[in-house]
Amino acid sequence: MPVEYLKKAEKSPVSGEDETRHIVADMLAEIERGGEAAACAFGEKLDGYTGDIVVGPEAIAAAAAKVTNRLKDDLKFARDRVRGFAKRQKASFTEFEAELSPGLWAGQKLIPMETAGCYVPGGRYAHVASAIMSIATAKVAGVENVITCSAPHAEHNGIHPAILYTMNLCGADHILALGGVQGIAAMAFGLFTGSRANILVGPGNRFVAEAKRILFGRVGIDLFAGPTEILVIADETADPEVVAYDLVGQAEHGPDSPAWLVTTSRAFAEDVMARMSGLIADLPDVQQQAAEAAWRDYGEVVLCDTNEEAASVSDEYAPEHLEVQSANLDWYVERLRNFGSLFVGEETTVAFGDKCSGTNHILPTKGAGQYTGGLSVHKFIKVVTTQRMTKEANRDVAAVTARISRLEGMEGHARTGDIRLEKYFPGEQFELHI
């Protein structure tokens, strides 16, 4: 029996992409031509900000003075867990050199990138946690030069104080009061700092995501990402109130944030759906408007016959955040393949990972979970290879290289093997053709 949609979204995560692409491409081209002046002009036009772009020590100190001690403690709590998890990630892979055959050694070196550009959203919400996720992780990876930016606000005369404090707490080397496409462009083109980012990381709205996508190739990026997503797999043993709260909690991110429920129980699905409007209506105005639009336009409820069917549906969505609240947790953990981050059981929830529990919240969306995971120290480190060998090892390697090269029609390649055999083994005969 095919799956049944008890609620079908009117829009998909890719809605409006063409318009976004044109807007962002034009902005990037204008900023690349016009440099810092063009970036400042977009900052004034879009954020109403005309202050200093490069944030100095006095502004950082002033921001710290506005942050309460309780919040400072909370931010350090979150930073320490994210940093601790990142350190364990880094320790999970190492450099090595191995002798693959007599006299032939091949190895792997881990080289941190020199400069990382970390985008921190600061529009609708003050995303202090995003500063921790990107900057602290880059520093653990060994990146020497971290540039970060966030949208300034007239009411703060710059970046939100808590964001600015957190950027500095996590070790940012340069802080720019620029948001949106202009912030991404400044880091990619080396504006205001003189350093071009080797990689751009961090979540953002559809314009930020598209800017990163367009620039990919000229710079590295963490992943292709857009508005945040949640998918919950639940059965009749789950608590419908808890699941409804979790769906609403992610829908408040924005009007284009998908919230999906996949369940094997019709009664459970109907119970959750019946609760959604009330929970959304109970939010403050800004959050209520965002969640209402997100649930109306992007929310889906999928009824499945079996656990296997539910897992298959989830893998098709490849959601950014995946919660499982089921009597079969271990089975799902073993079976599920495509997701950004997995939250196992009712006791954990997406918000914990978003804010402070340790795993990174910069994660793949729009199906990118089919081929990549989220941000980690690995994204900031280049895994490069090394090779060395003895003259004796050339006896086999050079001959094999010459034969394969000639088969492929690459005579120049073949002769680099020939010359070594002639030099190291004068007078010996080798079969150098297939």
Catalytic residue ranges = 320-321
Q: How far apart are CA 248 and CA 288, in angstroms?
A: 9
* Angle at alpha carbon of residue 377, lines to 374 and 383, rounded to 5°: 105
Phi, psi of 347, deg, nearest 5: -70, -20
239 touches 150 (CB < 8 A): no
Inter-axis angle of helices 285-298 and 266-281, nearest 10? 150
| The residue to which tokens 């949106």 are assigned | 180
Reported for 65-69, long-range contacts at CB under 8 A and 24+ positions apart, including other chains, are: 66/161, 66/162, 67/161, 67/162, 67/165
* Neighbour tally for 356: CB within 10 Å: 18
Buried b (16+ CB within 10 A) or exposed e, 145-183: bbbbbbbbbeebebbbbbbbbbbbbbbbbbbbbbbbbbb
Tokens of 170: 């996590």
The residue type of 21 is R
Phi, psi of 262, deg, nearest 5: -120, 120
Q: How far apart are CA 19 and CA 22, in angstroms?
A: 5
Phi, psi of 35, deg, nearest 5: 65, -145
Phi, psi of 209, deg, nearest 5: -60, -40
Kindly report the length of the chain: 434
219 has which bridge partners?
216
| The residue to which tokens 């881990």 are assigned | 110
Q: How far is CA 20 from the centre of its chain?
A: 20
